[in-house]
Structure 1
Amino acid sequence: MRTRTRIAAAFAAAGVVALAGCGTDVDDITVGDGKGWPAAHHDGRNGGASPVTGADAVTLSWSRPVGGPIAQPLTIGPDGQMFVTTSVGNCAIFSFQMPTGRKRFCNQLGPSTIEAPTVVDGTTNVYVGDDGAVNSFNYLGQPRWRTPVAGVPVAIQFTGDGNVLTITQSGQVDVLSRQTGGREVPTLQLLGEPDFLKYPGLTRPASGDGLADCATGGPRCAVANSTAVDPETGRFFVTVWEPGKSAASLRALRYADGAVTPLWSADLLTGGSATSPTLSDDGATVYVGDNSGRLIAVNAEDGRTRWTYALGWTPDGAISLVDDLIIPAGDDGYLMALRDGGDRPETAWERKDLALRGTPAQTAGGIGYTTAAIGAGLSLITFDTATGNTIDSDPLPGATGTTTGTSIGPEGEVVVATRLGEIFTFAPER
């Protein structure tokens, strides 16, 4: 018996060594080609647009509840595998297969996972935050790594060199290896490092502290939105509300040369941030919305305001941008588009008859999709991005309330999820 115990212990030790030896510093996992919907707003610049050519007619393929509420947009891998966070007993992150809606896996994480978006790489590894950590799973849901952080990562993106950029609601910035989860640069605190000499009794806040304010960009949530990343320059843009400030700021930082370095800060978001920042294709302009109902265009180089536009409603969540065509979201508003005229915006078209209940998304071929309130329910609207004209309208059977986002699959599928917790997937009619 003693010999068997020694042998078992030896095999266990060998297994630990083997697992420890599986890591490598060589990054052989691609970020992906952008097919599918790899991040909350599709890509690093938060453009809310897909390179896939959209279909002018779609049909409901399947729908299913997840059993709990949904707060973040679904992400979709290059092969169509879908990921969504929620808060359902033993399941905080679900994965579904595109053709049928069949569940591939669900994993238990912290209760705040519902507020954490996901990103997916080219090999369908998924990265997601929860209470006090960043996690990575493979396409089967098997854990790859877990890295502790302070707070809940509410912003997660890929950097230009293929690492994972995360920012928690309390302002902790980390750049992590996609292979190992190890920190690539020293952690940066956007609100500054705590002074334990001045406040010796200072304790670490709970991971979910202030998280309730993130949905509205309120003052107790320092960072409420996703981050826009410029892969060419290493610059990234984040909204920050510092305690005691009368307005939130848009900040630019740069990840390069083994460090994250602040570049500029502009206190311009009245009432807090309403949208994630969105970066133009050329990296020259950052667009962002605030809770006073404004869209703001900012010079990405120095933070100077180029123009502001009063929408008359809060542009919640996201901005869809293709070339100079800007389509804002906002459940208090309607479907409309602006064109950036350089020193001022110009109205391209308005659809005041279509009350938004989700975020618009644009595709190649001049096709756009959004969810709108039609009668007592919700419908997926297919529209012409050049004119705003409705091309197709498809009801979401039994759906009420609003949706978290509009995601486009690798074959032109359109996926939306209601905040009450039901997924609707539409297939193109080819």
Structure 2
Amino acid sequence: MTQGDQQVRTRTRVVTSLAAAGVVALAGCGTDVDDITVGAGKGWPAVHHDGRNGGTSPVSGAESVSLSWSRPVGGPIAQPLTIGEEGQMFVTTSTGNCAIFSFQMLTGRKRFCNPLGPSTIEAPTVVDQVSNVYVGDDGAVNSFNYLGQPRWRTPVAGVPVAIQFTGDGKLLTVTQSGQVDVLSRQTGGREVPTLQLLGEPDFLRFPRLTRPASGDGLDDCRTGGPRCAVANTTAVDPATGRFFVTVWQPGNGAASLRAMRYAEGKVTQDWSADMLTGGSATSPALSADGDTVYVGDNSGRLIAVNTSDGSTRWTHDLGWTPVGGIAVADGLIIPAGDEGYLTALRDEDDRAEIIWERKDLALRGTPAQTAGGIGYTVAAIGPGLNLITFDTRNGNTVDSDPLPGATGTTTGTSIGPEGEIVVATRLGEIFTFTPA
């Protein structure tokens, strides 16, 4: 690639500064004009595809797929892979030298790997339409271009466990300790004053109060426990500026679902509802019309909430704890959870109706829906794992493909721009399938 081609691809001037310890110094880089477009587009730009956490791709799913390649990354994986407009893949991990990897879709060849803080493994990534990637680590939000060159680094309190695009193309980040920031994608600069979901510390009453370690409470995030204030990815409604976040306030008996609003140069709270028994189990997921937000808790319930006022429309006892994401498309709700099985429900306004159940398919990943009524998930088949292609209308298996040598569970199901399906095991191996 020529230098000119590279400049066209990046569309921005990159200025870097390396500190003696090898950490990127905080610096605003790039132009004053925000010329980088964002949006769902093709690929899988966020952990649950889009800002509403819909777990649904506009690409038509293939009824038959085959394994294209697989490779280990050298460390465990905790978050789903994201995929850019042109198929470039990004994943966080924990190895001696690399915390974020990027791979090429066609061959699995590594494009770059960069060192970051040890807690990067718990931080999701988001990708814009020119394959700039945004990711958190211990005490910061970072941005790299498609070649892995640093663009900027902005300090925050904690580790960003939720990162999304806003409707006006800014970067919304929330740390596990509850710090909310809206950042410029070009420079990393703060667009609005920082908000603390747990309230501002009172240094007059507690003059010896110290800042917790960046990774404090992260272990509880995996189960939505009380030491992790924010355990899941926020859901964003770009039309209204609202975003929905789960928060466990210290001392409360249950976690809450909160509706926040980013508008007029600030972030404010619309409502808060203490409803998540045992803590939040899933990320909130918005319906396509933005009227309903779905969320799961650790008592095994799936809950439908009115976005206007936080009132509960219905609750449904799954009989198992949903975990991770909820795939929502055309009124069809498919929850994830390694303790459960593949099932689909429909929102009937005042109740949830089970459309079909596959109790023979024990979930080992997050279901994803595509256009054309095709869905994908990973299930336990015998001692191993298989990628299951299913008909979302009735749950019937359309195709089943083994993940050779894979055991345990997977972090998510991501769909590429050409209908590729990518899953990663928590032990640290990536499997890529392509339409047959």
Cα distance in 2 between the residues matched to 1:21 and 1:135? 12
| Closer/same/farther in 2, CA of residues 385 and 262 from structure 1, 3 Å limit | same
What is the TM-score when the length of structure 2 is the normalising length?
Answer: 0.94
Cα RMSD (Å) of the superposition?
1.3
Contact between 2:41 and 2:85, CA under 8 Å: does it hold in 1?
yes
Cα distance in 2 between the residues matched to 1:160 and 1:297? 23
Residue 22 of structure 1 deviates from its aligned partner by 5.7
Asked if 1:268 corresponds to 2:275, the answer is yes
Asked if 1:302 corresponds to 2:299, the answer is no
Seq. identity, %: 84
Counterpart for residue 430 of structure 2:
423
Question: Structure 2: which amino acid aligns with 1:374?
Answer: I
Cα distance in 2 between the residues matched to 1:35 and 1:254? 27
Q: Once the two structures are superposed, what CA deviation does each residue of 1:372-427 show, in whole Å capped at 9, x if it has no partner?
A: 00000000000000000000000000000000000000000000000000000001
Question: Structure 1: which amino acid aligns with 2:278?
Answer: G
Asked if 1:341 corresponds to 2:312, the answer is no
Residue 90 of structure 1 deviates from its aligned partner by 1.0
Greater gyration radius: 1
Asked if 1:279 corresponds to 2:289, the answer is no
Contact between 2:336 and 2:367, CA under 8 Å: does it hold in 1?
yes
Residue 75 of structure 1 deviates from its aligned partner by 0.2
Q: Once the two structures are superposed, what CA deviation does each residue of 1:150-188 show, in whole Å capped at 9, x if it has no partner?
A: 000000000000000000000000000000000000000
Task: Give the 4+ runs in structure 1 shifted more than 4 A.
Answer: 19-22
Asked if 1:83 corresponds to 2:90, the answer is yes
Residue 137 of structure 1 deviates from its aligned partner by 0.1
Unmatched 5+ stretches in structure 2? 1-14, 18-25
Cα distance in 2 between the residues matched to 1:115 and 1:53? 30
Question: Structure 1: which amino acid aligns with 2:327?
Answer: S
Q: How does 1:246-265 map to 2 (within 5 A)?
A: 246-265=253-272
Cα distance in 2 between the residues matched to 1:63 and 1:81? 15
Counterpart for residue 335 of structure 2:
328
Counterpart for residue 144 of structure 1:
151
Question: Structure 2: which amino acid aligns with 1:197?
Answer: L
Cα distance in 1 between the residues matched to 2:296 and 2:216? 24
Contact between 1:32 and 1:123, CA under 8 Å: does it hold in 2?
no
Contact between 1:34 and 1:50, CA under 8 Å: does it hold in 2?
no
Residue 23 of structure 1 deviates from its aligned partner by 2.8
Match of 1:116 among 118, 123, 126: 123
Secondary structure of 1:348's counterpart equals strand
Secondary structure of 2:99's counterpart equals strand
Counterpart for residue 101 of structure 1:
108
Cα distance in 2 between the residues matched to 1:343 and 1:165? 32
Unmatched 5+ stretches in structure 1? 1-13
Cα distance in 2 between the residues matched to 1:33 and 1:224? 23
Asked if 1:47 corresponds to 2:54, the answer is yes
Residue 24 of structure 1 deviates from its aligned partner by 2.6
Cα distance in 1 between the residues matched to 2:213 and 2:158? 7
Aligned length: 414
Match of 1:409 among 406, 416, 420: 416
Q: How does 1:119-268 map to 2 (within 5 A)?
A: 119-268=126-275
Contact between 1:34 and 1:43, CA under 8 Å: does it hold in 2?
no
Residue 32 of structure 1 deviates from its aligned partner by 3.5
Contact between 1:61 and 1:426, CA under 8 Å: does it hold in 2?
yes
What is the TM-score when the length of structure 1 is the normalising length?
Answer: 0.95
Q: How does 1:31-46 map to 2 (within 5 A)?
A: 31-46=38-53
